[in-house]
Amino acid sequence: MPASEDGQWTMPAKNVQNTRFSGLNQINTSNVGQLKVAWTFSTGVDRGQEAAPIVVGDTMYVVSPYPNILYALDLKNNGAQKWKYDPHPQQASPGVACCDTVNRGAVFDNGKVFINTLDGNTCAVDAATGKELWKTKLGDINQGETITMAPLVVKGKVIVGNAGGEFGVRGWIAALDEDTGKVAWKAYSAGPDTDALIGPDFHPFYAMDQGKDLGVTSWPPDQWKLGGGTVWGWVSYDPDTDLLYYGTGNPGVWNPELRPGDNKWGSTIFARKPDTGAAVWAYQLNPHDLYDHDEVNENLVIDLPINGETRKVIIHPGRNGFMYVMDRTTGQVLSATSYVYETAAKGVDLQSGRLIPNKDKEPKTNQVVREICPASPGAKDWQPTAYSPQTGLVYIPHQNLCMDYEGVDANYIAGTPYVGANTKFYAGPGGNRGFFTAWDPIHNAPAWQIKENFPVWSGTVVTAGDVAFYGTMDGWFKAVNAKSGELLWQFKTGSGIIGQPVTYKGPDGKQYVAILSGIGGWPGALVSGDLDPDDDTAAGGWGAGLRDLKDATTKGGTLYVFSLP
Amino acid sequence: MRLRLLIAAIVLLTGISLIACEREERGFRVQTPDTNRVNNKQLVDLQAGQPSKTPDTPNDYENNAQALADGKQLFQQMNCTGCHAHGGGSIGPALMDDKWIYGNRPEQIFSTIVEGRPNGMPSFRGKLPDYKVWQLAAYVRSLSGQAPSHAAPGRDDDLQVGKPENSQDKKKPQNSTASKSAEAPQ
């Protein structure tokens, strides 16, 4: 076991580098087949369970979907409840949550647990007592703002961003003082440089991202005010470069014909200084995003040997279907390799940095364009990947989807959806809607790949025991050999799995694996929201793509904890 | 030969005119329901004491193709599709199935649109004149086949997303709220 491994799991991504690698190896390829349920816990909510349970010492903390109740569970006593904290989010907030009422987890730092609430608050709670220490309101549901992401704590600051890209909100990321909850800085994605905290430190690598006030000039007049670029995904941090890395969501209004221009800074990766928020570089992955290809996916901070030298990189499995390996000090794209069937784009021009869209697949207003791959949820959506330094592979839960897309007119009415598109999704080539892929980031090719019938909407974890865990939308929790992809163990939980598996060492010295089961999220809303898939556009296009999901699973909200006998 | 054609034409035209008789009888003036009566309708089945009889408020727009078509346009323009998709639901519940959380009667749907509902349905009070809300309410009911097929929309101008409204099976509303209205006093 590496010395750095303390057996805890204090933040959803395990570490600020977002690798989701655990140094624990008690559970390994030879014994994982004996895993048994140790204990379970009901979150009391039957909507999509996307949260990662976190573990600090002998306590586990779990946050439920809306109404975002935070539970502290006693690991010395089979998960008995120590306390719970109810932040009382506004009852109307589910009405502006695009994709079910999910929450992606709590984070621990310095004796406090931090959560975000659907109605746009960040709360700090005493980890020992459950007492609220502060609560800061950051978003307004009447503007369509929600918060679903898990915060990240860096250098005493709680980093939070908003959601609401389907409601014409202005996306932002903010840093709150972890002791007081006061906003230290807030950077908008669209708008003037002053709002985006773009100043003298800003040195984007590519010419397309250089210039003054691009967040205004790359839009039709005033459209940036509804410009999206929300920050609802993962934030990572590199102590070496002292930079935060995160991606922004789709630019405001899906229908791209309604917003000519590059629409900065939607679908962009930013590098910022955590102390001031000052932007250091930015790279727009999808200039003038055509398909709701948010790029909020995680940026894994790792060092890789590339062409004989060790490079400081981030790996970003793009929603647009390309696996980006980027120099994290400069923002240069070292490679961008397609990892799913792709018709929407022809590649990335490494000279200009620009995505090369396929003209034939550009959406038009009142015209249906067919066979766009990947579909709006992309090659991979929010579901986070893991990286094992032992195997050198990136483990990617993701989907295999294409779509038909029609742009339509959109009216902006604050607090109601602002989309302007009709979409229907369906399986890509092969007919399987999901994949679990082990990707070799040096050779830019898959090492192995597992086909799954449903999109793999859960996260994953990989361990020093060379086991990777993930779940399926019909409720199977699986352990596979991290080197070969061989299925080693599986367990059928009560509901579909879209959560984030974690592993930790309990107070008894045993290794445990935990996962929340409970269908929901964007695709699973068909079940958690009891939608009708007779309408292809139900759940924003999943009606067509997951017509069979309601027969495969039912609602739930249960934490499962496994251990060896 | 010409005579045969003529006869054939007459037969055909007669046939068409007969079919035409089955089509919508469109009133030139549709009476907008009395909005004042909306407030007299209770939301739930259970009532303390003797149940009082409150009359239904029928919505004539449900029999009028133009009003239903207008309702369908409003459904898109007011961003209803953003939450309810084309009846299958998304952020909000499905409207094409047999489940009605806040009532399936026209006046209940009217209230839901105007007042909003506590778990996320926004209030559209002051955003549309009453007659347009009634058109929307008529269209909402057509999604589950409650409007007559001769009046309900028969095609989409947009991406084909499922059966058109006039081909929807008429679902039997299963309400958690006051479904069977008391007999209207004459």
Chain A closest-CA separation from residue B30 CA (Å): 28
Query: Least CA distance to B156: which residue of chain A?
Result: A366
Per DSSP, what are the bridge partners of residue A517? A558
Expressed in angstroms, the distance from the first to the final Cα of chain B is 61
Give the separation between CA A368 and CA A331, rounded to whole angstroms: 36
Q: Architecture of domain A21-563 in CATH? A: 8 Propeller (2.140)
Are A529 and B89 a contacting pair at CB < 8 A?
A: yes
Are B82 and A368 a contacting pair at CB < 8 A?
A: no
**pLDDT attached to residue A388:** 98
Per the model's pLDDT, the better-predicted residue between A203 and B14 turns out to be A203
Give the separation between CA B90 and CA B77, rounded to whole angstroms: 17
pLDDT digits (tens, 9 = 90+) for A424-448: 999 999 999 999 999 999 999 999 9
**pLDDT attached to residue B185:** 38
> Is the pLDDT at B53 greater than 90, yes or no?
no
Find, among A199, A111, A121, the residue nearest to A153 by Cα.
Answer: A111
Q: Which amino acid is located at B54 in the chain?
A: T
Helix axes B130-142, B65-77, angle to 10 degrees: 100
Query: Least CA distance to B121: which residue of chain A?
Result: A95
**Are residues A438 and A394 in contact, defined by beta-carbon separation less than 8 angstroms?**
yes
Give the separation between CA B146 and CA B152, rounded to whole angstroms: 9
Are A411 and B79 a contacting pair at CB < 8 A?
A: yes
pLDDT confidence tier of residue B41, bands split at 50, 70 and 90: confident
List the pLDDT tens digit at each of the 565 positions of chain A.
Answer: 556 799 999 999 999 999 999 999 999 999 999 999 999 999 999 999 999 999 999 999 999 999 999 999 999 999 999 999 999 999 999 999 999 999 999 999 999 999 999 999 999 999 999 999 999 999 999 999 999 999 999 999 999 999 999 999 999 999 999 999 999 999 999 999 999 999 999 999 999 999 999 999 999 999 999 999 999 999 999 999 999 999 999 999 999 999 999 999 999 999 999 999 999 999 999 999 999 999 999 999 999 999 999 999 999 999 999 999 999 999 999 999 999 999 999 999 999 999 999 999 999 999 999 999 999 999 999 999 999 999 999 999 999 999 999 999 999 999 999 999 999 999 999 999 999 999 999 999 999 999 999 999 999 999 999 999 999 999 999 999 999 999 999 999 999 999 999 999 999 999 999 999 999 999 999 999 999 999 999 999 999 999 999 999 999 999 999 999 9
**pLDDT attached to residue A3:** 60
pLDDT digits (tens, 9 = 90+) for A500-516: 999 999 999 999 999 99
Residue B23 burial class via C-beta count within 10 angstroms: exposed 0-12, middle 13-18, buried 19 and up: exposed
Are A530 and B94 a contacting pair at CB < 8 A?
A: yes
Known catalytic residue: A250?
Answer: yes
Are A95 and B78 a contacting pair at CB < 8 A?
A: no
Chain B closest-CA separation from residue A98 CA (Å): 6
pLDDT digits (tens, 9 = 90+) for B92-145: 999 999 999 999 999 999 999 999 999 999 999 999 999 999 999 999 999 999
Residue pairs spanning A and B at CB distance below 8 A:
127
Are B159 and A537 a contacting pair at CB < 8 A?
A: yes
B interface test, pick of A370, A371, A532, A546 with most B CB neighbours within 10 Å: A532
Indicate the domain borders of chain B.
Answer: 56-181
Residue A523 DSSP label: H
CATH 3.40.50.150 fits B56-181, yes or no: no
A416 contacts chain B (CB < 8 A) = yes
Mean pLDDT of chain B: 85
Of A408, A417, A534, the CB nearest to B88: A534
Q: Which of residues 528-557 of A touch B (CB under 8 A)?
A: 529-540, 543
CA dihedral A425, A431, A434, A436 (to 10 degrees): -150
Are A537 and B85 a contacting pair at CB < 8 A?
A: yes
Helix axes B130-142, B106-115, angle to 10 degrees: 120
| H or E stretch covering A441 | none
**Catalytic choice (A18, A116, A162, A250):** A250
Give the separation between CA A359 and CA B1, rounded to whole angstroms: 55
**Catalytic choice (A195, A292, A381, A404):** A292
B94 contacts chain A (CB < 8 A) = yes
**ipTM of the complex, rounded to two decimals:** 0.95
**pLDDT attached to residue B27:** 64
Are B158 and A408 a contacting pair at CB < 8 A?
A: yes
How many other C-beta atoms lie within 10 A of the C-beta of residue A212?
Answer: 10
From chain B, pick out residues whose CB is under 8 angstroms from the CB of A96. Answer: 91, 120
**Are residues A76 and A68 in contact, defined by beta-carbon separation less than 8 angstroms?**
no
From chain A, pick out residues whose CB is under 8 angstroms from the CB of B163. Answer: 534
> Is the pLDDT at B178 greater than 70, yes or no?
no
pLDDT confidence tier of residue B157, bands split at 50, 70 and 90: confident
Find, among A12, A10, A16, A25, the residue nearest to A390 by Cα.
Answer: A25
